[in-house]
Structure 1
Amino acid sequence: MCGIAGWVDFGRDLSAERGTVRAMTETMACRGPDDSGLWIDGPVALGHRRLAVIDPEGGRQPMVDAGVAITFCGEVYNFRELRARLIGHGHRFTTRSDTEVVLRAYRQWGAAMAARLNGMYAMGIWDAGRRELLLLRDRMGVKPLYYYPLPDGVLFGSEPKAILANPRARRRLDADGLYEILDMVKTPERTVFTGMAEVRPGQLVRVGRAGISKDRYWRLTAREHHDDLPTTISTVREILADTVDRQLVADVPVCTLLSGGLDSSSVTALAARALAGPVRSFSVDFAGERFEADAVRGESDAPFVRDVVDHVGADHTEVLLDSDGLTDERVRAAVLRAADIPPAYWGDMWPSLYLLFRAVRERSTVALSGEAADELFGGYRWFRNPAAIAAATFPWLTSGSARYFGGASLLDPGLVAGLDIPGRRAEAYRAALAEAPVLPGESADERRMREITYLNLTRFLQTLLDRKDRMSMATGLEVRVPFCDHRLVEYVFNVPWRMKSFDGREKSLLRAAVADLLPLSVRERRKTPYPATQSPAYERALCDELGKLVVNGDAPVLPLLDMAKAQQVIDRPTRAVSLPYDRGGLELALWLNRWLESYQVTIDL
């Protein structure tokens, strides 16, 4: 895992810009703490920060061979098979790295090699013969990749900060960007920063003298599912087991993230079977807090984590957090620096993830996570809420769920009205629905559930993958996501909903596929989200911070706020239990202020 950056300018020799390219690359030192590299040749400059996971000695980058140069972030899990095939084509390898496999795969098959890769990745490839830069991102968008078109070329990087380190990139926020912050919908290719774009999952972006062109090498498609239920269950198990086995390959310590839920427990149990020794696992909880069930979380994770640890014999570590850590100035500064945007939903989860990953990194370099199972197998409540299913919008933003993702409650009503969030959301929904694949002859109910799944995989999951990538890479930890394996996604996406929910429960298909691996308590557990602090001290600290901003009077966020509502929040009495979905507006106001101060963004609304 790494951070990549680059600059192409067809009208210049970039040799004199080494300092600028180095500055772009060094913004991502946390993503790659083990090594750095620069390569400049005429109009192209590539930068790389390396987290050494495969072949620490031989995988240095940028890597160059026969007029092709690559800066690569991520992992290719089928690199051994590809390597053998390429040797059959006459290629000779000098390293054991997957980077060299990708480089030689490009030399053999050109951009068509993308369809042969299994993994999570983002890369920039310069082809001197074609005088062309190729930007390429994995199918599910696990690894990020951004670019900023210039009059005669492009800037690109794993994170916006790499691009913003170049003085040719402007730091501006317009209405489109503010909407991206406020609404819990990931619009493909759009970013918060005006003029900056994101390579879409499964997309190729070519940059040549004639300009920029884009193409999709992968997208979800609809096809008939012919397997019966027992075969479907066994196929899911087979693919998932193979995926976990592949993703355990590393030359550094590997672990799993364990919440005691079905998804992470499945990954942990499969990892335990594949490893010769005990699997190392980590969970998170809050010290000194007495858990109280609420509308979102019905039970604590801790008892279920213990059941899994005992069942599979894991070498387990519980990471305990507290309010002081979540509000620590250094922690919140690190979170914002990693995110590049103000967190607008459940803002305490960002620092808690960061602190969890920082603790994990002390013992492991790679972690396997259960992310994406809910979107793929139908784990969220809105998959079973008739009103959400029937609504002509994103199901997680219907009345039953929208409160959990609200962040605009303290913003000036006139500002919010001017953004026309309902109109923008409706437009985004129509665009997403128009993309959703259709299977001829499918019943109306099955078609709708296919649409709901598509919306979750392409518009909701991306926000979670972004958060996990930024918080993990800020600590130099590589997080792998087995449920994002494209073979599993393609297969399960086309399983009829009646089969996915055959026993009337959430994630019926996954539950059946891993039933023999898990303790009964976990097999029967209902979906529970990532834990959030319920400490009133945390909320009080946020209110105090907002109060100081109001008293000082010069905070950049103040002109954007409804000051009467802000004062009400500041003055409200301390509550016995703090609920994350009631803190959304407060969290956003504070993160937005930090962002405006730190990033010196010009607002064009």
Structure 2
Amino acid sequence: MCGISGWIDYQRDLTRERPVIDAMCRTMACRGPDAAGTWVRPHASLGHRRLAIIDLPGGAQPMEADTPDGPVAMVYSGEAYNFTELRDELRRRGHRFTTDSDTEVVLRGYLEWGAEVAEHLNGMYAFAIWDSRTEKLLLIRDRMGVKPLYYYPTEHGVLFGSEPKAILANPLAEKVVDADGMRELFSMTKTPGQAVWAGMREVQPGTVVTVDRTGLREHTYWRLTAVEHTDDRDASVARVRELLDDIVARQLISDVPRCVLLSGGLDSSAITALAARQLSGRGEQVRSFAVDFLGQTENFVPDPMRDTPDGPFVHDVAEHVDSLHQDIVLDPATLADPAVRRAAVAARDMPMGLGDLDQSLYLLFKAIRGHSTVALSGESADEVFGGYRWFHDPQVQQADTFPWLAGAPGSTGGMLAPELRNKLDLDAFVADSYRSAVAEAPVLQGESEFERRMRLMCYLHLTRFVRILLDRKDRMSMAVGLEVRVPFCDHRLVEYVFNAPWSLKTFDGREKSLLRQATADALPRSVVERTKSPYPSTQDPEYGVELFGQVSDVVRRQDPALSIVDEQAVRQIMAAGPDAVDTPTRFFLERVLDLSVWFDLHQPTVKV
């Protein structure tokens, strides 16, 4: 896992721009703490920061392959889980390898198949290839968008990087956020290809972006399609288990210590249990980590999102699979530490966090990094299998908007300053985004209206909502140099379950029926019977008090963040005092603080 960056310019001599190229690369030192490298030619430069996972001595980058017509160079981030099979196939086709790395397999795969190499890969990846034979750059991203990749067209070429901060380190990139960027920040949607920064784009999942002297082109090599599901219940359950066993086995491959993230829910518990079985066969013990909050189990109060605390279920699983387990327990002061918020906002390059969920995830990953370099996560199972509670709400099922917004009126910009809210017209923006998403969604002929509707809900989650969460997971983990793998994003599993009818996904009258049945034999009964519970949030009122004090400071110094939010609402909260900070108020305060940090970090120019 790594950070990549680069600059292509067909008019400029980039050999004279090495300080700028090095600066772009340095912004992602956290993504690659083990090594740094640059490759510079007159019109092309590639930068790389390495987190060594596979072939520690041999996988250095940028990596170059010589050809009779000129070199081909690559910078690569991610993992190709099928690199062993691909290497064998390429050897049969005459290729010779000098390392054991998956990077060299991908580079040699390009020499054999060109841009179609992406169609041969199973994994999470974002990489750039400069082909000097044709003076062409290719930017390629994995099918689900697990690994990020951004680009910024310039007058004579393009800038690119794993994160916006790498691009923004180049003087050609302006730190401007326009109306569309602001809409992206406050709408809780994810417009494909859209970045918050004006002029910047995101390589869409399953897409190849090609840049040459004639301009820039996009090609989609993978998208979700609708096909008839012909397997019955037993065959479907068996196939899900078969896929999961294969996926977990592949994603446990590593030359550095690895672990699993365990929340006590069905998703992470299933991955933990399957990993434990795989490793026990090799005489190894799985290592697991969970985040918890001081006093959370003892003082837990059920709320609309969470019926039970995670702790007891986490320990049931750890005992059941005999994992080497550790709880990372956080107190309110640590969670609210301004330095932690600053690190989280810096990691995301934007103030669109999820409050204490971001800080706790960052702190969890930071603690894990002291023991492991790779972690397997249960992220994305809810999107794949239909696990969120709103999937099962008849009103949400029929709502004419994104499902995650249907049950949260006013969630798209209610905190904004009235004048800004009127200019952005977020309701119209969300409505337009929703119509665009519906128009592109695949349809299966002969499907009932209800099944069609549920297929659409799944599609919206797999192409919009999941990308928000995957981006968060990537940024928080890579901020501390931890590679987090997401087995549920394997495209084979996604395609198979997407096409299973909703009646099959809920055959036992509950959420995630296929996953539950496929892994029940490996799990404790308490987890098999547990209802869906999201990633945990602290309930300690002291956390709200800490936030209140920090926002008081923001108000006193007339922070630039107050130009974005409803300042009158902020002052009303301040007047009510810290004891009046409830859950909605707390979220408001979190966003004010995120904006304050963002303005301080980036000094953006907001043009609305």
For normalisation by structure 1, the TM-score amounts to 0.97
Question: Unmatched 5+ residue regions in structure 1?
Answer: none
Which of 278, 285, 310 is equivalent to 1:278? Answer: 285
Aligned partners of 1:242 and 1:144: how far apart in 2? 25
Give matches, 1:483-562, under 5 Å: 483-553=488-558, 555-562=559-566
Aligned partners of 1:240 and 1:572: how far apart in 2? 51
SS in 1 for 2:350: coil
Question: Does 1:395 find its partner at 2:403?
Answer: yes
Alpha-carbon distance, 1:576 to partner:
8.6
Q: Output the amino acid matched with 2:302.
A: A
**Ranges of 4+ aligned residues in structure 1 off by more than 6 Å:** none
Which of 422, 433, 442 is equivalent to 1:437? Answer: 442
Which residue does the alignment assign to 1:371?
A: 379
Which of 170, 174, 179 is equivalent to 2:183? Answer: 179
Aligned partners of 2:429 and 2:416: how far apart in 1? 18
Question: Unmatched 5+ residue regions in structure 2?
Answer: none
Aligned partners of 1:577 and 1:542: how far apart in 2? 9
Which residue does the alignment assign to 1:600?
A: 603
Whether the aligned pair in 1 keeps the contact of 2:78 and 2:147 (CA below 8 Å) is: yes
What is the CA deviation profile of residues 39-92 of structure 1, one whole-angstrom value per residue up to 9, with x for unaligned ones? 011200000000000000000000000221000000000000000000000001
Alpha-carbon distance, 1:302 to partner:
0.4
Whether the aligned pair in 2 keeps the contact of 1:236 and 1:510 (CA below 8 Å) is: yes
Tell which deviates more after alignment, 448-457 or 411-420: 411-420
Which residue does the alignment assign to 1:476?
A: 481
Q: Output the amino acid matched with 1:380.
A: Y
Alpha-carbon distance, 1:158 to partner:
0.2
Which residue does the alignment assign to 1:100?
A: 104
Whether the aligned pair in 2 keeps the contact of 1:409 and 1:585 (CA below 8 Å) is: no
Which residue does the alignment assign to 1:320?
A: 329
Alpha-carbon distance, 1:561 to partner:
2.9
Whether the aligned pair in 2 keeps the contact of 1:407 and 1:587 (CA below 8 Å) is: no
Alpha-carbon distance, 1:331 to partner:
1.4
Alpha-carbon distance, 1:538 to partner:
1.3
Which of 357, 369, 377 is equivalent to 1:349? Answer: 357
Alpha-carbon distance, 1:151 to partner:
0.7
SS in 2 for 1:442: coil
Tell which deviates more after alignment, 447-456 or 593-602: 593-602
Which of 580, 586, 589 is equivalent to 2:589? Answer: 586
Which residue does the alignment assign to 1:295?
A: 304
Question: Does 1:61 find its partner at 2:61?
Answer: yes
Give matches, 1:236-247, under 5 Å: 236-247=240-251
Q: Output the amino acid matched with 2:291.
A: V
Aligned partners of 2:408 and 2:554: how far apart in 1? 31
In percent, how many aligned pairs have the same letter?
Answer: 57
Give matches, 1:563-578, under 5 Å: 563-575=567-579, 578=582
SS in 2 for 1:514: helix
Aligned partners of 1:268 and 1:55: how far apart in 2? 25
Aligned partners of 1:585 and 1:194: how far apart in 2? 25
Aligned partners of 1:261 and 1:575: how far apart in 2? 32
Q: Label 1:409 to 1:543 Cα distance change in 2 as closer, same or farther (>3 A).
A: farther
Aligned partners of 1:49 and 1:546: how far apart in 2? 36
Question: Does 1:383 find its partner at 2:391?
Answer: yes
Aligned partners of 1:410 and 1:101: how far apart in 2? 49
Whether the aligned pair in 1 keeps the contact of 2:548 and 2:578 (CA below 8 Å) is: no
Alpha-carbon distance, 1:577 to partner:
8.4
Whether the aligned pair in 2 keeps the contact of 1:61 and 1:70 (CA below 8 Å) is: yes
Whether the aligned pair in 1 keeps the contact of 2:36 and 2:48 (CA below 8 Å) is: yes
Which of 351, 362, 367 is equivalent to 2:370? Answer: 362
Alpha-carbon distance, 1:334 to partner:
1.2
Which residue does the alignment assign to 1:135?
A: 139
Give matches, 1:198-213, under 5 Å: 198-213=202-217
Q: Label 1:174 to 1:576 Cα distance change in 2 as closer, same or farther (>3 A).
A: closer
Which residue does the alignment assign to 2:340?
A: 331
Which residue does the alignment assign to 1:149?
A: 153
Aligned partners of 2:90 and 2:566: how far apart in 1? 62
Alpha-carbon distance, 1:337 to partner:
1.3
SS in 1 for 2:38: strand
Aligned partners of 2:263 and 2:161: how far apart in 1? 32
Aligned partners of 1:95 and 1:122: how far apart in 2? 20
Aligned partners of 2:347 and 2:557: how far apart in 1? 27
Alpha-carbon distance, 1:402 to partner:
4.8
Q: Output the amino acid matched with 2:59.
A: G
Aligned partners of 1:569 and 1:343: how far apart in 2? 21
SS in 2 for 1:583: helix
Which residue does the alignment assign to 1:4?
A: 4
Aligned partners of 2:176 and 2:359: how far apart in 1? 25
Give the CA RMSD over aligned residues: 1.2
Question: Does 1:190 find its partner at 2:194?
Answer: yes
Which residue does the alignment assign to 1:36?
A: 36
Which residue does the alignment assign to 1:13?
A: 13
Aligned partners of 1:435 and 1:358: how far apart in 2? 39
Q: Label 1:577 to 1:229 Cα distance change in 2 as closer, same or farther (>3 A).
A: farther
SS in 1 for 2:343: helix
Whether the aligned pair in 2 keeps the contact of 1:326 and 1:352 (CA below 8 Å) is: yes
Question: Does 1:221 find its partner at 2:225?
Answer: yes
Which of 402, 408, 417 is equivalent to 1:412? Answer: 417
Question: How many residue pairs get matched?
Answer: 599
SS in 2 for 1:206: strand
